[in-house]
Amino acid sequence: MIRLDGKLVAESLREGLKLRTESFKSKMGRAPQLTVVLVGENKASQVYVKNKHLACQKVGISSQIIEKPESLQQGEFEELLEKLNRDESVDGVLVQLPVPRQLKSDRVFELLSPAKDADGLTYASTGLLWSGKPLVKPCTPSGVIEILKHYKIPMAGKNAVVIGRSQIVGKPMAALLLDENATVTVCHSGTRDIRSYTSQADIVVVAAGKPRLFGREDFKKDSVIVDVGMHGTGGGKLCGDVRYEELEGWAQAATPVPGGVGPMTIAMLLENTVYLAERKLKGN
């Protein structure tokens, strides 16, 4: 079984991004800038933001973190988004989710300019994606596509199943697989007998959100399985939605957790930021 190593693919992408950030800096006199908005004291979000900040530094992207208190009100939140839309020194913006309850996260998707949408999740970005003319692509699904391409796994003409229909992974994943000419089925919590779909699929992308839910018996022999899940098991260990150890000798290829899709999510955030900066440089 081929181990689809997201760390390896992410590293190869970062090497190219370093060259692009240096080129941008030589022309603009500054590095591409990503601004991350962090509201509240969510510990997991703080860790994610720190990791993104460090990843930016490694490729030469300027990373600004705007921290706001848990008590931030809707009007102040929206004013901040509008300010970032107008700031010419900011190339990409990411609002770390979740935000506190009193804030309407939907307003992020409505108000943030698609020209600065480093996560590719605004409603405008989603519309462009489904129209086949994406400006930037959501980070996790585009990372999955990059892994499959890196390992030369064909998607055209293949039967692909996506498990999950979230705005962040499931729906855009289906759109990107369609763009690669796969035949796509989306399964979710309302799907009866999911195994009847996964057991016939050539490619399965699992974003069910439940630890170790799927195993060898759920997949066709020699299929390709991409596990987007990430769960803590205690003792500092992580697992995905799939029982990876059962796939050896059965699957053609699969992503491990950790070390599979996770590193690619951040790599694609960097890619999106640099692309948006280059696009601005060209006057688009």
What residues are labeled active site? 52, 96, 119
Residues 6 or more apart in contact with residue 106 via CB below 8 angstroms: none
Written as one letter, the residue type at 133 is K
3-state SS record for 139-193: HHHHHHHHHHHHCCCCCCCCEEEEECCCCCCHHHHHHHHHHCCCEEEEECCCCCC
Q: Which residues pair with 62 in a beta bridge?
A: 33
The DSSP output letter for 117 is B
Q: Are strands 224-227 and 159-163 parallel, antiparallel or unpaired?
A: unpaired
Report d(CA 154, CA 152) in Å as an integer: 6
* Strand locations in 51-107 (E): 62-68, 92-95
Q: Is 9 exposed, middle or buried (0-12, 13-18, 19+ CB in 10 A)?
A: buried
Supply 173's token pair. 């994943």
